[in-house]
Every structure is written in C-alpha cells, then in structure tokens.
Amino acid sequence: MAELIYAAIASLDGYVEDEEGRFDWAAPDDEVHAFVNDLERPIGTYLYGRRMYETMVFWETASTEADEPAVFWDYAGIWRAAEKIVYSRALQTVSSARTRIEREFDRDAVRRLKQSSGADLAIGGAELAGHAIGAGLVDECHLFLCAIVVGGGKRALPATSARNSNFSMSAGSETASFTSTTA
C-alpha cells in the first residue's frame, strides 16, 4: 500500500504563509532543495487544492533558458513525471499534463488510491492536508522549518486536523519530521 505524505516548509511558529499570503521567506537553499527532491522522487501522484496547484503548476513550464541550479531542474522533472489530482469546485481546466480535477475531497476514494497505487502519494496545501489528516489518511508529515517567526497567517497544521491525529516527532538540524501513527 502506498503512503500519503504531507510535506511543507513552515516558519518556526508553524505557518506556511504569512498574513498577506506570502511565503517568499520559505525559499529553500540548494542543500534543502536537494533533500526535498530526494523525498519527492518516489512520489507517483500529487493531491492539491486549487491554490496550491496554481502555485505548483509553474514547474510545468519552467523555462530551460533560466539560469537556475541543478536542484531546480531536478525538481521540475520530478513534478512533471507525477500524476496530479486537483480538488476544486471553481477550477474548470488544468494547464499541466497528467492532471485531473476532482470536485470534492472523497476520503474513501483517497483510501482506495493509496491501496491501489504502486508509488507513494503526496498531499499539498495546508487546508487539503488538514482534511486528510483529520480523516486519518496521512502516513507521514514532514515540516521543514525556516528560522523565521511570521506571527500569523495560514497554519501548516490546522488545529482541527491536529486534534484528530497522533503524531510522533523527530527533529534534525534543519527539519522536523512528524509521522502519523493513526493511519
């Protein structure tokens, strides 16, 4: 059975976006980017909400003419190779290959996808991840902490989902990894 993994870059006070919706403070350096690439490499399908998809679809058309480090191009290839499912009632079309829209988050459908998938799944976006955590579907949660306090905004782990889950924590020098024991 495939695992469902939630990974996010967060501030020390637990936010993935500040109060203005900005997350430019979360840009990883090459070392962290390479580490994340290695975690993402086995992902076969990404599950996104509309806003996260609209952010991530950049990787579909990232210009090969841009002067970017190797980790940038490595991630672009990882993202393009994976299937994508976007949960949205508003989005009418997608602008990336290997992508489909689902109108509602269906926990039973995600459970079946986990059972039938030959590769792990990743869920992106705090709100969508909160639904999956609350439903007991998330097997691993990796929060990459930035040395910044933003004071408010969108939480990496919504309070409602955290109350419904049991996470154990291990921390390294630059990251904290939470693993669900409920799934």
The CATH number given to whatever domain includes residue 94 is 3.40.430.10
Q: How many CB atoms lie within 10 A of CB 133?
A: 28
Please tell me the distance from the alpha carbon of residue 16 to that of residue 3, in angstroms, as a whole number: 22
DSSP letters spanning 8-50: EEEETTSEEE-TTS--GGG---HHHHHHHHHHHTTEEEEEEEH
Domain count, the chain: 1
Determine phi and psi for 122, rounding to 5 degrees. -125, 145
Q: What's the distance, Cα to Cα, between the start and end of the chain in Å?
A: 12
63-106 per-position pLDDT tens digit = 777 789 999 999 999 999 999 999 999 999 999 999 999 999 99
- Tell me the residue range of the domain where 97 lies: 4-180
141-176 per-position pLDDT tens digit = 999 999 999 999 999 997 755 555 555 444 444 444
Please tell me the distance from the alpha carbon of residue 42 to that of residue 78, in angstroms, as a whole number: 9
94 burial (CB, 10 Å; 0-12 / 13-18 / 19+) is: middle
109-144 per-position pLDDT tens digit = 999 999 999 999 999 999 999 999 999 999 999 999
Instruction: Please tell me the pTM assigned to this model.
Output: 0.87
